[in-house]
Copies of this chain bind each other. A is one copy, B any other.
Amino acid sequence: MKRNTWQREAVRAALADNDGFVSAQALHASLREGGSSIGLATVYRALADLAEEGEADSLQQDGEALYRACTPGSHHHHLICRGCGLTVEIEADAVEQWARDVAAAHGFTRPEHVVDVFGLCAACAELQANPSPS
């Protein structure tokens, strides 16, 4: 059976404290800075578990896995700012349906999908237009 260790709780909490996506490395570093003595491998293992149990979303970026807390069972997608990492949760019922349909139309079963939209948020777009403001 799955045991309840303070390490797992720490990872769960650190993930919840964070608004955007975090890498395992970053999460481990921040836990260490917070005085925890948790090991890196443990963070990896905990995150993998959380993701499998549906308590965390994960996505791949630049060859590293990023995680984010999410309410169990709910399925949603993200709008992510390329500049500052700001993440907005988005509803995508229409896309869910479309994914199921397109999979079925080609004889595919057990469909899952990855849908993420990247862009520049208003603030970052502003920054890019005026690199040195005021």
- Known contacts: A88-B106, A94-B94. The answer to whether A99 contacts B117 by CB under 8 A is yes
Copies assembled: 2
Beta-carbon contact of A121 and B108 below 8 Å? yes
A73 lies within 8 A of chain B by Cβ: no
Closest residue on chain B to residue A114 by CB atoms: B116
Closest residue on chain B to residue A113 by CB atoms: B117
Beta-carbon contact of B119 and A103 below 8 Å? yes
Known interface pairs A106-B121, A112-B117; 18 further A-B residue pairs with C-beta atoms within 8 A, sorted by A's residue number = A63-B63, A81-B108, A82-B110, A88-B106, A92-B98, A92-B102, A94-B94, A95-B95, A102-B117, A108-B119, A108-B120, A108-B122, A109-B122, A110-B120, A111-B119, A112-B118, A113-B116, A114-B115
